[in-house]
A and B are shown apart, each in its own frame.
Chain A
Amino acid sequence: MGDMARPDQRFVLDPAVLWRQMDGEAVVFLPASGDTHRLDRFATNVLAVLEGHTAGLDAETVLPLMRHGAVDDEPVSVDDVAAVLQDFRRLGLVEQPAS
């Protein structure tokens, strides 16, 4: 409830999540729920940036870290990244870092 995409919200990848990148996209497995999801190239790119940043990242910091050319030529905005992060949160892929 109150799932507004706020660009300054920081997220960290749930360390229990398993994921594999294939052909530029990814499949992810959430051990707690047992669910498997497929991510498109853009979301995969965001996920790859999140991994390793245990302090958490917000959409603003994720954007410049994303690989250039990995995303289709369409311009990408902070809002797009923020929307993906919210999707991740809904799926249980990311959580908010204990601050």
Chain B
Amino acid sequence: MPWSLPPPDLLASCLAQPARLAALSLRQWARVLVQAREASLLGTVCHLAETHGGLESVPEPVRGHLWGGRMAAERNAEAILWELRCLQRELGWVKMQPALLKGAAYVAAQTPNAPGRLCNDVDILVPRAEIDRAETALRWMGWMTTHLTAYDQRYYREWMHELPPMEHMRRGSTLDVHHNILPETVRRQPDATRLLAQARPLGDGSGASVLAPHHMAIHCAVHLFSDGEWETAIRDLYDFHCLVKGFSAEQGELFWDALLDEADALAVSVYVHHALRCSRHLLGTRVPGRVISALSAQAPGRLRQWALDWVFLHAASHRFTSRRPVRHAISRLALLWRSHWIKMPPLLLLRHLFYKAFLAPRDDAADAVKEQGAGRHG
């Protein structure tokens, strides 16, 4: 029935219970491989297969692809660490010590979701007041701004929570410099000084830091549930699941308390509510009852909650193997609209969409790259 919620994909249920991997038939593996490829999770699945039954129990034709995914992730991690060393030097000379976000933070801090994970670019968080200084320092060190049209520049600088992505002229790597975790235009912007104040140094002598555990999980939730592009949603949910699982095992109730308190202080509890709800449904994340009930104060009304569940769960499913391609398409479109709605007040949104539809220069080359799927690893 169209109103029923879809069951988790095979990939999701394997992520939730990695022991299942050892018992998959070849036909099931074919499905998992396609879903993992789309979500950039081949390396992760390889890691899970190795730690649950061993790669030998994986059928022969699948094994190579998994091994290749892990290889790519290991090399990617090395490249990210190298990039961080370079960046450290490039920002160190102006005495700036940013906090790493997302993929780069997972790799550098070796969080539980790190083995096998791919990340394409480095995201850092600097204080709002220092963003200009950071940009200048980075430009001196060979980082160039992209998105050069006047509109795009204004879009980022006035309305977004980050600079336009920068690209290093020699190394070709990309860097996103954030000053917050939600755009300037949201109705209640989080107080990002809390994030930086509680950030933890990595302890590897590099001087770089990562967000505190509760903030890392919160940012993961905020990022996914304000985003309109859900191609790799299951990967991001798996990040969230691993972080919550790992941190709560380490810190117990202290973690849950900090998660609730900080989500409230940053005015982002509703994102954490959605993330926990989805990750419980798809990945079986264990969440104490008191956390669920504390967050339910943030929950939307029953009808809206049902609609959101329907949209999130359909959108998190895999497109090509989906048995419900139309519902899948509707939900992804709905999320795209929702993300615009969250990020911009109505008039600004109208203006933005008008510009994008009618005035923005058509960039065929960029389209082609996007079509080739090059931009799909977040």
Chain A residues at the B interface, C-beta cutoff of 8 Å: 31-34
Contact = CB atoms under 8 A, between A and B. Distances in A.
A78 to B, nearest CB: 30
Contacts of B79: 34
Nearest to A30: B82
Interface string B74-103: 010011011001000000000000000000
Contacts of A31: 78
B187 to A, nearest CB: 44
Nearest to B81: A32
10 contacts: A31-B78, A32-B78, A32-B81, A32-B82, A32-B85, A33-B82, A34-B75, A34-B78, A34-B79, A34-B82
Contacts, number: 10
A51 B79 CA distance: 25
Contacts of B81: 32
Nearest to B79: A34
Interface in B234-278: none
A31 B85 CA distance: 14
Contacts of B82: 32-34
A36 to B, nearest CB: 13
Interface in B289-317: none
Interface residues of B, number: 6
Contacts of A32: 78, 81-82, 85
Contacts of A34: 75, 78-79, 82
B327 to A, nearest CB: 42
A32 B86 CA distance: 11
B73 to A, nearest CB: 14
Nearest to B93: A1
Given A32-B78, A33-B82, A34-B75, 7 more contacts: A31-B78, A32-B81, A32-B82, A32-B85, A34-B78, A34-B79, A34-B82
Interface in B46-83: 75, 78-79, 81-82
Contacts of B85: 32
Nearest to A1: B93
Nearest to A33: B82
B175 to A, nearest CB: 16
B186 to A, nearest CB: 38
A70 B51 CA distance: 51
A52 B82 CA distance: 26
B82 to A, nearest CB: 5
A34 B82 CA distance: 9
B133 to A, nearest CB: 20
Nearest to B86: A33
Interface string B98-133: 000000000000000000000000000000000000
A33 to B, nearest CB: 5
Nearest to B83: A33
A31 B79 CA distance: 9
B87 to A, nearest CB: 13
B205 to A, nearest CB: 14
Contacts of A33: 82
A33 B81 CA distance: 9
B83 to A, nearest CB: 9
A39 B78 CA distance: 24
A31 B82 CA distance: 10
Contacts of B75: 34
A32 B79 CA distance: 7
Interface centre among B75, B82, B85 (most CB of A within 10 A): B82
Nearest to B75: A34
Nearest to A92: B82
A19 B81 CA distance: 22
Interface in B305-337: none
B365 to A, nearest CB: 25
A33 B80 CA distance: 9
Closest 9 A/B residue pairs (Cβ) = A32-B82, A33-B82, A34-B79, A31-B78, A32-B78, A34-B78, A34-B75, A34-B82, A32-B81
A32 B82 CA distance: 6
A2 to B, nearest CB: 14
